[in-house]
Amino acid sequence: MSTLLENHIVELLQERNEKAISLLYENYSDTLYGVAFKVVKNEALAQDVLQESFVKIWKKADTYDPTKAKLFTWLFRITRNTAIDKLRSGKKKIEKEIQIDVSDVYKLGIDGINPDSIDMQENLEKIEDKYRIVLEALFFEGMTQQEASDELDIPLGTIKSRLKIGLRELRKIYVEPIILLILLNLIS
């Protein structure tokens, strides 16, 4: 690829001109797809990585500095890092699914507990907002911790801490009623 075309693409990127994405796709998509495929080793996943990479490239266009790296090097890094992130998130998802399958949490023998009868929403109101918001995002809205972090604009480590503390606070509220319900279930 000529330096002239590369310079033109950089100018368009810095001007936030959408033609830059078309030119990038025409001239780099095959190579970047190859980069993604080499990391994820799956065609569909590599296509997802390529698409996410172009979105990131567009969003980060103003951060590209031609004095620090050639355009291709910058594109390569974004695509490679996106592919690695995709691979890691896939592994974490598989690990979570495995943990759920082997967990004893669901074998408590409390099938008779009705969530409505333990006033979940009412009791959530009893804990601090910062913990309640995280618990609602994770358990009622079905977000992952990373999604909650992005959506709530809270660092991932803080999400994890607030989850732990929020669950501890809920446990304080529910320990006695749950034990009572389990005992009542065992008796009847």
Domains of the chain by residue range = 1-105, 110-188
Instruction: Give the span between the Cα atoms of 18 and 16, in whole angstroms.
Output: 6
Q: Residue 86's closest CA among 47, 31, 59, 58?
A: 47
Phi, psi for residue 25 in degrees, rounded to 5: -65, -45
Instruction: Give the span between the Cα atoms of 56 and 44, in whole angstroms.
Output: 18
The HSE-up count of residue 98 (CA atoms within 13 Å, CB side) is: 6
Q: Domain 1-105: give its CATH code.
A: 1.10.1740.10
Instruction: Give the span between the Cα atoms of 31 and 111, in whole angstroms.
Output: 54
Give me the mean pLDDT over the 72-88 stretch: 91
User: Do the domains 110-188 and 1-105 match in fold?
Assistant: no
**Which tokens in the block code for residue 114?**
């009705």
Q: What are the C-alpha distances in Å from 132 to residues 121, 136, 166?
A: 10, 6, 7
Give me the mean pLDDT over the 67-71 stretch: 88
Number of H helices, E strands in the chain: 8, 0
The pLDDT of residue 95 is above 70: no
Q: Domain 110-188: give its CATH code.
A: 1.10.10.10
pLDDT at 116: 47
pLDDT at 102: 47
Give me the mean pLDDT over the 45-72 stretch: 91
Give me the mean pLDDT over the 2-10 stretch: 84
